Protein backbone atom coordinates (compact mmCIF):
# COMPACT_ATOMS: atom_id res chain seq x y z
CA UNK A 1 0.00 0.00 0.00
CA UNK A 2 1.10 3.57 -0.58
CA UNK A 3 1.62 5.81 2.45
CA UNK A 4 1.94 9.59 2.05
CA UNK A 5 3.10 11.65 5.02
CA UNK A 6 2.99 15.43 5.13
CA UNK A 7 5.56 17.08 7.39
CA UNK A 8 5.25 20.59 8.80
CA UNK A 9 7.62 23.14 7.23
CA UNK A 10 8.66 20.69 4.48
CA UNK A 11 7.89 21.33 0.83
CA UNK A 12 7.58 17.68 -0.14
CA UNK A 13 5.66 14.72 1.22
CA UNK A 14 7.27 11.46 2.23
CA UNK A 15 5.85 8.70 0.01
CA UNK A 16 6.57 5.03 0.48
CA UNK A 17 5.19 1.64 -0.48
CA UNK A 18 4.77 -0.72 2.45
CA UNK A 19 3.85 -4.36 2.85
CA UNK A 20 2.70 -3.80 6.46
CA UNK A 21 -0.97 -4.11 7.32
CA UNK A 22 -3.13 -1.01 7.50
CA UNK A 23 -3.85 -1.70 11.17
CA UNK A 24 -0.16 -1.88 12.11
CA UNK A 25 0.63 1.34 10.21
CA UNK A 26 -2.28 3.18 11.88
CA UNK A 27 -1.16 1.94 15.29
CA UNK A 28 2.42 3.15 14.72
CA UNK A 29 1.20 6.56 13.49
CA UNK A 30 -1.18 7.00 16.44
CA UNK A 31 1.56 6.08 18.93
CA UNK A 32 4.11 8.46 17.39
CA UNK A 33 1.71 11.39 17.15
CA UNK A 34 0.26 11.02 20.64
CA UNK A 35 3.63 10.54 22.36
CA UNK A 36 5.52 13.03 20.18
CA UNK A 37 8.06 10.33 19.40
CA UNK A 38 9.41 9.27 16.02
CA UNK A 39 7.43 7.31 13.46
CA UNK A 40 9.52 4.50 11.99
CA UNK A 41 8.24 2.65 8.93
CA UNK A 42 9.94 0.19 6.58
CA UNK A 43 9.15 0.28 2.88
CA UNK A 44 8.74 -2.73 0.61
CA UNK A 45 12.42 -2.58 -0.39
CA UNK A 46 13.65 -2.74 3.21
CA UNK A 47 14.52 0.95 3.59
CA UNK A 48 13.64 2.62 6.89
CA UNK A 49 11.82 5.95 6.99
CA UNK A 50 11.90 7.94 10.25
CA UNK A 51 9.62 10.96 10.74
CA UNK A 52 9.23 13.07 13.90
CA UNK A 53 5.71 12.37 15.20
CA UNK A 54 5.16 15.92 16.44
CA UNK A 55 5.85 17.33 12.94
CA UNK A 56 3.36 15.15 11.04
CA UNK A 57 0.67 17.30 9.42
CA UNK A 58 -1.26 14.52 7.64
CA UNK A 59 -1.06 10.86 6.68
CA UNK A 60 -2.80 9.28 3.71
CA UNK A 61 -2.92 5.50 3.62
CA UNK A 62 -3.82 3.98 0.26
CA UNK A 63 -5.64 0.74 -0.20
CA UNK A 64 -3.80 -2.54 -0.43
CA UNK A 65 -3.41 -3.22 -4.15
CA UNK A 66 -3.10 -6.66 -5.64
CA UNK A 67 -0.59 -7.17 -8.40
CA UNK A 68 -1.84 -6.89 -11.97
CA UNK A 69 -0.12 -8.51 -14.91
CA UNK A 70 -0.53 -7.45 -18.54
CA UNK A 71 -1.87 -4.45 -20.34
CA UNK A 72 -5.60 -5.05 -19.99
CA UNK A 73 -7.71 -2.18 -18.69
CA UNK A 74 -10.35 -2.63 -16.05
CA UNK A 75 -13.61 -0.80 -16.17
With beta carbons less than 8 A apart as the criterion, state whether 52 and 40 touch.
Answer: no
Q: Where are the domains of the chain?
A: 2-61
CATH architecture of 2-61: Roll (2.30)
Helix H or strand E encompassing 58? strand 56-61
Name the DSSP letter for residue 42. Answer: E
pLDDT at 10: 93
- Residues 14-26: pLDDT tens digits? 999 999 999 999 9
- Residues 10-69: pLDDT tens digits? 999 999 999 999 999 999 999 999 999 999 999 999 999 999 999 999 999 987 655 556
Helical spans, DSSP H, in 1-75: 22-35
Amino acid sequence: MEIRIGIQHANREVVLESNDTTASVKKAIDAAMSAGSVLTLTDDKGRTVIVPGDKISFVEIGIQATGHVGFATTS
